[in-house]
Every structure is written in structure tokens, then in C-alpha cells.
Amino acid sequence: MEQKLLATIPGTRDILPEEIARWHLVERTAQDLFERYGFEEIRTPILEPTELFARGIGADTDIVGKEMYTFDDPSGRSVTLRPEATASVVRAAIEHYLTRGGAIRKLYYLGPMFRHEKKQKGRWRQFYQIGAEVLGSDHPAIESEVIEMLLALLARLGIEARLVVNSVGDARCRPAYVERLRQELLRDLSPFCEDCRRRAQTNPLRVLDCKVESCQPHIERLPKISDHLCAECADHFARFQSYLRDAAIPYEVVPRLVRGLDYYVRTAFEIVSGGLGAQNALAGGGRYDGLSEVLGGPPISGFGFALGVDRLVMVIPEEVGRRSEPKPDVFVAYLGEAAFRRGQEIARRLRHEGFWCILTFGGGSLKSQMRQANKLGARNVVIIGDDELARERYPVKRMDAAVQTDMSLEELLSQLRSDRT
Ligand code: AMP
């Protein structure tokens, strides 16, 4: 019986070996850089109790309202594939007392997130984020330092991006502003889209990040949160900006920036990049001082961001991406079974010494093996035939210089070592 061909679920995909070099480049660069800034990796479960996100992200957000992969597990408990990781990191901090004794913890994570979003270029239902969170400090200098680190990562990857910032106020000043916004919206809802009309009632702040074209001129006329901050939030925002200026980080204040998650207070920011089309946000983040309490924990200040890796790999310039593609040190070409066995021995030794060595099974003609070596970009090809077996000296072809020299295995090793330094 002919079987139906199975394929990935829409919005998910395979990341193939052909494209993995860019992913590794992003992940390794981030890990290396973040550790220099004093961040430690944390890995939290992909599956979490649904309530973590319902409470942590906010019931009237698009994520919780319509995008979560939620189901009952076999024991009847409602679980969700994480749509983001900040709530999980804060849960972990509470569960393991990570900030006990007033400790400041700098944590980063990387991994897949799941949101059942409308399909669009740059939007996936399983996508990957790298994020960093600082727990235990409400200092605005932390915010500029975290942003500096994120921008340094993008710079290392050759990506040009813009920083936009805003303050979304806090529990003291935001409610009055939201009420003001609601009143203003309710005065005349007719020019707004259906979603905005609903949001005017349920969550007026969300109107500000509506993307519908016809809503834009009307949103521009709405009151701005920056004109309604309390003295503490205004002072925090001014200090944050002064630290950005100290670090020579260019930025733009965008009063409409509110972000899609309810837990943000005070500083919110986004990193946007040209070349991404409508989904131009590469990263977003902000301060979430109340989140721990919402999750049943003690007060723990927090500030962090999440960076979309899928989008990032799309904008890494060609030459940076190419540089990251690793090349084998040695390709071992052989003719005949005895030479193959010697080849295995040589490959074993080279690998043991830390070199990347390719030995194919099945061999083929010398010409076809050379073609393969070329395709893989191998730096050297060792050729083993009957004569070489007896002499224990092998022609080694340096592919970039197209020169060939007879060498013993020890001579080859010392050449590889000196090439490496
Ligand atoms: P958020 O967690 O919504 O603040 O998103 C942070 C970043 O994750 C965004 O700026 C995007 O780069 C990325 N991101 C969010 N949702 C998706 C998605 N569905 N597909 C791909 N990337 C996404």
C-alpha cells in the first residue's frame, strides 16, 4: 500500500545542515559575549503549566488569547508549549531562590518558542529566541548595559539595527493614562479597525501597537504616555537615557512603543532592522518589576530582552555568514582497501589531535575524491596509494596554494599545528 508522504506542520520547519553554520555562529557568539558580561545560562522546560503564561503574560494579550499551544497532558493537567521564556526564568528564580540575600542574577537562555500566529514572512509557529534577564536590580544602568550587550552582539554579526525606547509607566501612573486613552478612544471609535475597537474596551494600550494602515493617523493623535509619567518613572527614564548617551548608544524615543506583553513597566525597547519587511523587530524587551509577585513570588525586579534568531539569521550579511562556515582541515583520499585502512588510522590520529578530518567510505576515483574535497573546502588533501603505504610518506596537497609536498604523518601534524596558530 502506498503511504501518504508526511511533512512538517505549517509554521514549523527543519533547519538543515546547509544552513546550520549561521545558527551556530549566532549561538556561539551570543554565549561567548554574554558570558563576558557576567551572564550564566539557564535552561527551563519547554512545557510549563498553562497558568504560568496566563498570569505572567496577561489574559488579554494576543499570545494568551489566541496563540498558545495548550493541551491537557495524560494526567489531565493543562500544559502549554512555552510562547516565551521570561515567565519561566522568573518562575525558576522564585522556585530556586536565585536572588536570595539580595543577589543580582544575570541569566541567559536560548531555545524554541511556540506561538500559533498567522503565517507571514519572518513569522513562524516554532521559532527560536536568545534572551537575557537581569533579576534583582531596578537600576537604570542595568538597562543600558543589557542593551549595549545586545547591540554588541548584532555588531559582531555585521547587522545594522536601530534602537527605539519608551517608558510605559508603572502601577502608579499607567492606570490613569490608560483611562485617559480609553476616554479618548471612546469619543469616536469609528475610524479604528475592529480589533482596536475591541481593545479600546479591554486593553486600550494595545491600540498603540496596531499595525493596520488606516488606524495609524488616528493613533498618532492619541495622548502620549510620556506626557503622563509620574515623577519617579520620568526620572528613571531620564537616567536610563543618560546611561545610553554615556555609552554612545544612538536611540530614538517612540512614545507609541508598548510591546505585546502586559508585564512591562517603565523601560521598554525594541531593536528594528531594515531588510526584514513588515516583521522588522529583531529583539524586544523591557522592565518587568511586578512579574514575580504575579507568579506568587517575592518582589524581584527584572529587566531583559528576547532576540528572534530566525530573523537574525536572515539578515546576517553574506560575507559574515560565509566566514562562519567551517572547513575541514584534511581530506584523506585513498585508492584500494589497504590504503583505506591506513586512511582510517591517519584520520583517527588527526581527529585525536583535534583536527577536522574527512574520510569517505566507498572512495571512488582519485579525481572524484578531489572533487569532493574541493566542494567541502578542505584545506589539505592527503593522498594514499600503494607506494605511499610502504614509504609512509604521503603527498599532501594544500588546496589554497595548489602545491603538493610529500610528508610523513608527523610532518603533516606539525604543519597543521602551525597553520592553526
Ligand atoms: P517577543 O517575545 O514577542 O517580545 O518577541 C521578541 C522577538 O522574537 C521578536 O522581536 C522577533 O524577532 C522574535 N519573534 C517573536 N515572534 C516570532 C515568530 N512568530 N516568528 C519568528 N520570530 C518571532
Per-residue confidence (pLDDT) for residue 161, from 0 to 100: 92
What is residue 154's three-state secondary structure?
Answer: helix
Cβ of 129 closer than 6 Å to ligand 1, yes or no, is yes
The CA distance from 48 to 186, in Å, is 38
Using an 8 Å Cβ cutoff, are 332 and 342 in contact? no
127 lines ligand 1 (CB under 6 A): yes
Whether ligand 1 lies within 6 angstroms of the CB of 124 is answered as yes
Q: Which residue type does 179 have?
A: E
pLDDT of 320 reads 87
- 307 Cα–ligand 1 center, Å: 7
> What would the grid cell of residue 136 be?
534583582
For 186, 193, 220, 260, 386, the CA distances from 197, given in Å and listed in that order, are 8, 6, 16, 17, 82
- 80 neighbors 50 (Cβ within 8 angstroms): yes
pLDDT, averaged in runs of 10, over the chain (421 residues): 89 93 95 98 98 87 89 97 97 97 97 93 94 97 98 95 95 91 91 90 86 89 92 97 97 86 86 75 94 95 97 91 86 94 96 96 89 94 90 92 91 93 79
Q: Whose CA is nearest to atom 18 of ligand 1?
A: 123
Per-residue model confidence as pLDDT tens digits over 112-159: 999 999 888 889 999 999 999 999 999 999 999 999 999 999 999 999
Question: At 107, is the secondary structure helix, strand, or coil?
Answer: strand
Give the number of other Cβ atoms within 10 Å of residue 31's Cβ: 15
* CB-ligand 1 contact for 282 (6 Å cutoff): yes
Q: Rounded to the nearest whole angstrom, what is the distance from the C-alpha of residue 303 to the centroid of ligand 1?
A: 17
Which residues, at least 6 apart from 192, have a Cβ–Cβ distance to it below 8 Å? 185, 200, 207, 210, 215, 218
Distance 270 CA to ligand 1 centre (A): 11
- Residue 328 near residue 357, CB atoms below 8 Å: yes
Q: Percent helix, strand and coil across the chain, each rounded to 5?
A: 45, 20, 35
The minimum-distance atom of ligand 1 relative to the CA of 117 is 19
CA-derived radius of gyration, the chain: 27
**How many Cβ atoms from other residues are within 10 Å of residue 297's Cβ?**
16
**pLDDT number for residue 274:** 75
Comparing CA positions, the residue from 387, 356, 361, 385 lying closest to residue 372 is 361
**What pLDDT is stored for residue 122 in this prediction?**
83
- Side-chain half-sphere exposure of 128, counting CA atoms within 13 A: 16
* The predicted structure's pLDDT at residue 261: 65
By three-state DSSP, how is residue 289 classified?
Answer: coil
Around 161, how many Cα atoms within 13 Å sit in the side-chain half-sphere?
Answer: 31
Provide the pLDDT for residue 100. Answer: 95
Report the alpha-carbon distance of residue 369 to residue 123 in Å, rounded: 41
Counting from 1 in the atom list of ligand 1, the atom nearest the Cα of 307 is 7
From 113, 159, 164, 257, the mutation candidate for ligand 1 (largest count of ligand atoms within 8 A of CB) is 113
Planar angle of CA 64, 69, 73, nearest 5 degrees: 115
| C-beta of 82 in contact with ligand 1 (< 6 A) | no
CATH topology of domain 327-414: Rossmann fold (3.40.50)
DSSP assignment string, 312-368: HHHHS-HHHHHHHS---SEEEEE-SHHHHHHHHHHHHHHHHTT--EEE-SS---HHH
The pTM for the full model equals: 0.90
- Fold of domain 20-173+229-320: BirA Bifunctional Protein; domain 2 (3.30.930)
pLDDT digits (tens, 9 = 90+) for 252-282: 999 989 876 667 899 999 999 876 666 678 9
pLDDT for res 275: 65
Closest residue (by CA) to atom 14 of ligand 1? 308
Q: Are 314 and 276 in contact (CB under 8 A)?
A: yes
Q: Which three cell numbers stand for residue 56?
A: 505572567
Q: How far apart are CA 359 and CA 349, in angstroms?
A: 12
**Nearest alpha carbon, ligand 1 atom 10:** 283
Please give the Cα distance from 258 to 208 (Å, whole number): 7
Domain borders along the chain are 20-173+229-320, 327-414
What is the CB neighbour count within 10 angstroms for residue 184? 15
- 47: which strand partners? 81
For residue 209 and ligand 1, the question of a CB distance below 6 A is answered with: no
* Atom number of ligand 1 nearest to Cα 125: 19
> For ligand 1, is residue 306 a contact (CB within 6 Å)?
yes
DSSP state of 275: T
Within 10 angstroms of residue 274's Cβ, the number of other Cβ atoms is: 10
Q: For ligand 1, is residue 128 a contact (CB within 6 Å)? A: no
> Which of 168, 291, 310, 314 is the best mutation target for the ligand 1 pocket, counting ligand atoms within 8 Å of the beta carbon and taking the most?
310
